[in-house]
Amino acid sequence: GMGAITPVGLDVTATWKSVTSGVSGVGPITLFDAGDYRTQIAAEVSDWDPSAHFDAKELRRLDRFSEFFIVAARQAIAHAGLEFTTDEDLASRAGVMVGAGFGGMGAFIEEITTLVERGPDRVSPTGVPRIIPNMAAGLVSIEHNLTGPVSCVVTACSASANAIGDAAEIIRRGAADVMVAGGAEASITTFGIATFAQARAMSTRNDDPQGASRPFDADRDGFVMGEGGGVLILESLEH
């Protein structure tokens, strides 16, 4: 089972077609006005419409990174042909492991801005659930009735890979038969771009977004910020 929300496709099939066709998802930043920033390009999930997946009440409780992970998890579970909500035995032996470097950075910026500009009484009570990185895993476990191990890995750029590895180890030690594993990030924000740009870590090839991501090139000048979510369903061989 696989699921993917990426800058070059809103599912695995579309993403793989783009990747194998050499399509780049990098372009000018549109999520905020980056005109004064050293880096003005990123790989955004540009066609994302959260209202197609969540109602208004749900959206008030979700950061963009959680949206990506939840929908990618839905895709992966459907792809694997698993139905947890009607099989309690299976659900009790299934869990979730998410990897995220920052978690709800967008929500964090929103709440800090509200605190500074409007005062403490205007900060949302859903601020913390939107921000914390493990919330994406928790929400997937709730939606699909997964009562096995549920946790989160926060190890910067290796978080999602570590999450998949940790999920495999959970199955190996017999604590679960099935794990929903992967990661999500949505850090194309004012702070996310500013801080990496100040560290001289990101490409400033603003006039050539399509050619900016070139890690093995002699003229490389930094990485390109991206966003999205990817999920795999891991199962024991016996299962």
Question: For position 187, what pLDDT does the model report?
Answer: 97
Q: Over the chain, what is the mean pLDDT? A: 96
67-87 mean pLDDT: 94
- How far apart CA 29 and CA 190 sit, in angstroms, is 10
What confidence category does residue 86 fall into, taking pLDDT thresholds of 50, 70 and 90?
confident
Number of residues that this document lists for the chain: 239
- Cβ neighbors of 135 (< 8 A, separation 6 or more) are 63, 66, 103, 104, 129
- How far apart CA 33 and CA 188 sit, in angstroms, is 11
- Cβ neighbors of 194 (< 8 A, separation 6 or more) are 37
Q: What is the pLDDT of residues 190-225, one digit of tens each?
A: 999 999 999 999 999 999 999 999 999 999 999 999
94-106 mean pLDDT: 97
Question: For position 143, what pLDDT does the model report?
Answer: 96
Question: For position 85, what pLDDT does the model report?
Answer: 81
Q: Are 29 and 225 in contact (CB under 8 A)?
A: no
- How far apart CA 47 and CA 42 sit, in angstroms, is 14
33-45 mean pLDDT: 97
- How far apart CA 110 and CA 104 sit, in angstroms, is 10
Question: For position 75, what pLDDT does the model report?
Answer: 98
Q: What is the pLDDT of residues 168-196, one digit of tens each?
A: 999 999 999 999 999 999 999 999 999 99
Question: For position 87, what pLDDT does the model report?
Answer: 81
Asked whether residue 88 carries a pLDDT value surpassing 90, the answer given is no
The two three-digit tokens of residue 14, written as one number: 């579309």
pTM given for the model: 0.96
- How far apart CA 135 and CA 156 sit, in angstroms, is 17
Which of 102, 62, 52, 49 is CA-nearest to residue 227?
A: 102
